[in-house]
């Protein structure tokens, strides 16, 4: 732990104990306090963006972002042996149990960050129209490709486990492509009534496990884009790694909307992103076009199932929005 002790000198901290939690995270005990020393994945370019995020968080009192300690030279990080380290308070939390209260807290805290950092820009309707009409056309082509693969598989007497998996998923994948085409029509219609587009601070790697006692940790991937991208990351990760939370994500989405209300256009965009089937179809194509000796069918099946879970979540999310819209009418 000599390296960590040397880094901590920059903070005038002389530890009584340093405990390795992971290869990138150490728990530090010193002077009756506990700290988290993080070896980041930041480089000389991304460190500047990370510093700007914390500078803005301080200027706008974004208390939801976990604070970092300053060194004795008033720096937010320490560069040591070509790597960047930063120090935050150590916060104990039960990461194994994430229930409804945690989901509500995530929605509430990230919603506040999104609305407090939002800047409006003029919506480029021509660019939006061209982009989504192209995507709509691709969905039609993808449905044709998918059907062709299904017909090939159905002609086999003994389909492989991967092929049986695709057959099982077919109805839902086809419906996600159909629903995506409908959503593009909705988006283009709604865009006629919109003139602005909101850009907010995004966490960039949002997961339910990244909120500790009302603080979001791990801001190394932070960026500025529309808030729906943070929500998309949250849902996609949750659909794969936390499927037991699906009902909580859907049931409590109104908590986010109370903090940062999304327009009908923005909700439709989020649904469309969640229903993106491109990765699924890429894996199916890879299976059919790659030499079987060069790929692991087990790994492909695992990846296919993960993407399928995300698409099923997207269909459930879209259904939830439709039910809420009917209640509001």
Residue 95 forms part of a structural domain: no
Cα–Cα distance measured from residue 275 to residue 267, given in angstroms and rounded to the nearest whole number: 13
pLDDT beyond 80 at 98: no
pLDDT in tens, 42-74: 999 999 999 999 999 999 999 999 999 999 999
Residue 187 forms part of a structural domain: yes
Q: Is 126 in the same domain as 259?
A: yes
pLDDT in tens, 279-289: 999 999 988 88
Q: How far is CA 267 from CA 13, 261, 273, in A?
A: 47, 10, 10
Residue 175 forms part of a structural domain: yes
CATH at 283:
3.90.1200
- Return the bridge partners of 26, or none: 20, 37
Read off the DSSP letter of residue 71: -
Read off the DSSP letter of residue 65: B
Q: Is 72 in the same domain as 129?
A: no
Residue 278 forms part of a structural domain: yes
The domain boundary, picked from 89, 119, 136, lies at 89
Residue 234 has a pLDDT of 96
Give the least confident one: 53-57, 104-108, 113-117, 241-245: 241-245
Residue 71 forms part of a structural domain: yes
Residue 7 domain boundaries: 2-89
- Return the bridge partners of 81, or none: none
Cα–Cα distance measured from residue 123 to residue 90, given in angstroms and rounded to the nearest whole number: 42
Q: Which of 318, 324, 323 is nearest to 177 (CA)?
A: 318
CATH at 28:
3.30.200.20
The domain boundary, picked from 67, 89, 111, lies at 89
Residue 10 forms part of a structural domain: yes
Residue 195 forms part of a structural domain: yes
Average pLDDT, the chain: 93
Residue 94 forms part of a structural domain: no
- Residue 90's contacts (CB-CB under 8 Å, 6 or more residues apart) are 27, 28, 34, 35, 36
Q: Which residue has the tokens 């009192």?
A: 61
- Residue 294's contacts (CB-CB under 8 Å, 6 or more residues apart) are none
pLDDT in tens, 139-173: 999 999 999 999 999 999 899 999 999 999 999 99
Cα–Cα distance measured from residue 212 to residue 91, given in angstroms and rounded to the nearest whole number: 7
Q: Is 44 in the same domain as 149?
A: no
Under the banding of pLDDT at 50, 70 and 90, the label for residue 251 is very high
pLDDT beyond 70 at 294: no
Q: Is 132 in the same domain as 214?
A: yes
The domain boundary, picked from 59, 89, 119, lies at 89
Cα–Cα distance measured from residue 210 to residue 226, given in angstroms and rounded to the nearest whole number: 20
Q: How many domains does the chain have?
A: 2
- CA dihedral over 33, 210, 11, 201, signed as positive or negative: negative
What value does the mean pLDDT take over residues 268-289? 94
Quote the tokens at residue 183: 């959503």
Q: Is 290 in the same domain as 191?
A: yes
Q: Is 85 in the same domain as 108?
A: no
pTM of the predicted model over 0.85: yes
Residue 97 has a pLDDT of 65
Q: Is 76 in the same domain as 139?
A: no
Q: Is 83 in the same domain as 184?
A: no
pLDDT beyond 90 at 290: no
Q: How many CB atoms lie within 10 A of CB 257?
A: 14
Q: Is 83 in the same domain as 107?
A: no
Q: Is 227 in the same domain as 132?
A: yes
Q: Is 83 in the same domain as 110?
A: no
pLDDT beyond 90 at 99: no
Cα–Cα distance measured from residue 206 to residue 106, given in angstroms and rounded to the nearest whole number: 9
Q: Is 272 in the same domain as 165?
A: yes
């Amino acid at each position: 732990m000599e390296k960590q002790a040397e880094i901590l000198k920059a903070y005038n901290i002389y530890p009584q104990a340093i405990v390795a939690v992971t290869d990138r995270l150490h728990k530090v005990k010193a002077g009756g306090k506990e700290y988290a020393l993080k070896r980041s994945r930041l480089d000389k370019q991304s460190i500047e963006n990370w510093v700007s995020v914390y500078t803005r968080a301080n200027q706008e009192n974004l208390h939801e972002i976990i604070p970092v300690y300053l060194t004795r030279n008033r720096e937010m990080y320490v560069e040591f042996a070509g790597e960047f380290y930063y120090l935050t308070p150590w916060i104990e939390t039960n990461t194994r149990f994430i229930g409804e209260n945690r989901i509500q807290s995530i929605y509430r805290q990230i919603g506040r960050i999104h609305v407090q950092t939002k800047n409006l820009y003029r919506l480029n309707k021509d660019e939006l129209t061209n982009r989504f009409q192209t995507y709509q056309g691709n969905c039609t082509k993808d449905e044709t490709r998918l059907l062709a693969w299904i017909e090939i598989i159905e002609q086999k007497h003994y389909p492989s486990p991967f092929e049986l998996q695709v057959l099982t998923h077919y109805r839902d994948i086809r419906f996600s492509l159909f629903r995506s085409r409908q959503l593009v029509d909705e988006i283009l219609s709604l865009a006629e009534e919109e003139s602005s587009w909101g850009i907010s601070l995004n966490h960039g790697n949002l997961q339910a496990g990244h909120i500790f006692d009302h603080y979001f940790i791990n801001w190394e991937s932070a960026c500025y884009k529309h808030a729906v991208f943070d929500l998309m990351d949250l849902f996609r990760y949750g659909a794969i790694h936390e499927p037991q939370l699906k009902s909580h994500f859907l049931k409590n989405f109104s908590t986010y909307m109370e903090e940062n209300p999304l327009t009908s256009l923005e909700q439709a965009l989020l649904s469309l992103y969640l229903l993106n089937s491109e990765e699924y179809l890429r894996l199916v194509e890879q299976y059919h076009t790659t030499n079987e000796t060069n790929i692991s069918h087990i790994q492909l099946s695992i990846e296919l199932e993960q993407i399928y879970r995300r698409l099923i979540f997207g269909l459930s999310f879209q259904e939830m929005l439709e039910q809420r819209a009917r209640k509001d009418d």
